[in-house]
Amino acid sequence: MKSYIHVNQHKIKANLKNGTDEPVITVKAGKTNTYAHDVIIDGPCRVRYSETDKPILSCGARVVIETTSKVTALTRTT
């Protein structure tokens, strides 16, 4: 299954504004979204950028990492 990994810039801004540490990386695999602080990609991947006015993902992401390799999403615990 192909996975898409992108950084949620809105979460980054919210973390800075609110002093929080919510995960800002999204891993999309099929219909599942996993949120993480760190991601490990165990194999080849491709970084894609959409120069057009059409984002790559429906969430609006224009830069993504695309892979069919195993992806491990890690989050920090407080």
pLDDT digits (tens, 9 = 90+) for 9-32: 999 999 999 999 999 999 999 999
* pLDDT score at 54: 87
Query: Which residues span the domain enclosing 23?
Result: 3-74
pLDDT digits (tens, 9 = 90+) for 30-59: 999 999 999 999 999 999 999 878 888 888
Q: What total number of domains does the chain contain?
A: 1
What's the pLDDT band for 78 if we cut at 50, 70, 90? low
Per-residue HEC secondary structure of 7-72 comes to ECHHHHHHHHHHCCCCCCEEEEECCEEEEECEEEEECCCEEEECCCCCCCCCCCCCEEEEECCEEE
For the cut 80, the answer to whether the pLDDT of residue 77 exceeds it is: no
